[in-house]
Structure 1
Amino acid sequence: MAELRTDRLVLRRWRDSDLGPWAAMNADPLVREHLGEVLTREQSDASVARFEADFERRGYGWWAVEVRDTGAFVGFAGLDRVEDHMPFAGVEIGWRLARAAWGRGYATEAARAVLAYGFGTLGLAEILAVTTAANARSQAVMRRIGMRPAGSFDDPAAPEGPLRPNVLYRIARGEWG
């Protein structure tokens, strides 16, 4: 399976050594602010098992992200199929970083590598991105990587409250690069 490299990052398959830092990220209320409840260690570990199964089945998914110079695990980035309950279909790009990695441009750098893989290697025609309407940081990354707003909607799976209003961004292969 592909390992993606940027100037500062490596996007790679998951290792057992990632489980602890991943669980710590998922237990951080600020990291989970736009995602929902914090996760238990068991829920966090189960998510990595799903990520790896997706890679085996599809050849893409959520890569673990590490800093090249230090080897430190800082989060994830990748591609996934849009969930069935959403009012649209396609392949979605996403990222999540540990709070200590925020503000360094890692999300943008990782997302650009993921777009290159999605358009170049997988030959996708379009890539989508979704976040809560209140998640200005992720929307800024979406704009930096060339995505454009494509509407808003209420996530039917989210509870009433700030996680329900969402925005959709998109980028076509011809718009990228």
Structure 2
Amino acid sequence: MNHLLMTERLVLRPVTAQDHAGLLAHWTGADVRRFLFDGEILSAEEVTGIIEDSTLSFAAAGHGLWLIREKDSSDLVGTAGLRPLDDLGLEVFYSLAPAAWGKGYATEAARAVVEHALGPLGLPEVLAEVDEGNAASVAVVERLGMTAFESVPGLLGPMTRYRRVR
């Protein structure tokens, strides 16, 4: 299975060990990690672990963490991926560099991941978990056609869980 995802403006490719420095720099930015990692700063070892887990997940199940770039640029726009959400299923998640905010890239990249999950991977549903204070991500999951089904406590306050079924 080809794990490269293409949209009108973006290329999403699986992360590799060569992406380590770029991911570490991206994910340690305060604005990026605010909701993705609840404000925690990831260590270099944690980023290595995420890359290794993603590589294994792509080999075994056809999904993991994708690096997002614009089609005509080599600059890192962000990341998107699928990961387990407790024992409920897989959730779509994403992070964008602040310079890429407001361009619709989060919706475009997340839509590509969700369509990959519900299409070629054949998943029955895709989940998302969003901090209630993250209005931008609430708007993204709603644009993806996801509907809220549960509120749960989170480190930064209540989180809403969403789903989109095939």
Question: What is the TM-score normalised by the length of structure 1?
Answer: 0.84
* Alignment match of 1:82 (pick from 85, 99, 110): 85
Contact 2:107 2:140 in 1 (8 A): yes
Give the C-alpha shift of residue 45 in structure 1. 2.8
Contact 1:77 1:110 in 2 (8 A): yes
* Alignment match of 2:158 (pick from 145, 156, 165): 165
Contact 2:17 2:48 in 1 (8 A): no
Provide the residue aligned with 1:33 in structure 2. 34
Give the C-alpha shift of residue 120 in structure 1. 1.1
Provide the residue aligned with 1:123 in structure 2. 122
Give the C-alpha shift of residue 28 in structure 1. 0.9
Provide the residue aligned with 1:108 in structure 2. 107
Give the 4+ runs in structure 1 shifted more than 6 A. none
Give the C-alpha shift of residue 80 in structure 1. 1.8
Provide the residue aligned with 2:70 in structure 1. 67
User: In the aligned structure 1, how far is the partner of 2:28 from the partner of 2:160?
Assistant: 25
- Gaps of at least 5 residues in structure 1 are none
Provide the residue aligned with 1:98 in structure 2. 97
Would you say how many aligned residue pairs link Structure 1 and Structure 2?
A: 163
Contact 1:93 1:114 in 2 (8 A): yes
Give the C-alpha shift of residue 44 in structure 1. 2.1
Question: What is the TM-score normalised by the length of structure 2?
Answer: 0.89
For 1:33, what is the secondary structure of its paired residue? helix
User: In the aligned structure 2, how far is the partner of 1:20 from the partner of 1:99?
Assistant: 18
User: In the aligned structure 1, how far is the partner of 2:72 from the partner of 2:111?
Assistant: 19
Per-residue CA deviation, residues 43-90 of structure 1 (Å, 9 max, x unaligned), is 223322222122122221121111111122222112222234xxxx11
- Gaps of at least 5 residues in structure 2 are none
Per-residue CA deviation, residues 105-163 of structure 1 (Å, 9 max, x unaligned), is 111001111121111101122111002121111111001111112121114xx4xxx2x
Q: Does 1:12 align with 2:39?
A: no
Contact 2:15 2:55 in 1 (8 A): yes
User: In the aligned structure 2, how far is the partner of 1:27 from the partner of 1:79?
Assistant: 20
For 1:39, what is the secondary structure of its paired residue? coil
Provide the residue aligned with 1:149 in structure 2. 148
Provide the residue aligned with 1:140 in structure 2. 139
Name the Cα RMSD after superposition.
1.6
Give the counterpart letter for 2:75 in structure 1: A
User: In the aligned structure 1, how far is the partner of 2:86 from the partner of 2:49?
Assistant: 18
Contact 1:18 1:73 in 2 (8 A): no
Provide the residue aligned with 1:57 in structure 2. 60
The 10-residue stretch of structure 1 (39-48 or 103-112) with the greater mean CA deviation from structure 2: 39-48
User: In the aligned structure 2, how far is the partner of 1:100 from the partner of 1:42?
Assistant: 26
User: In the aligned structure 2, how far is the partner of 1:48 from the partner of 1:73?
Assistant: 16
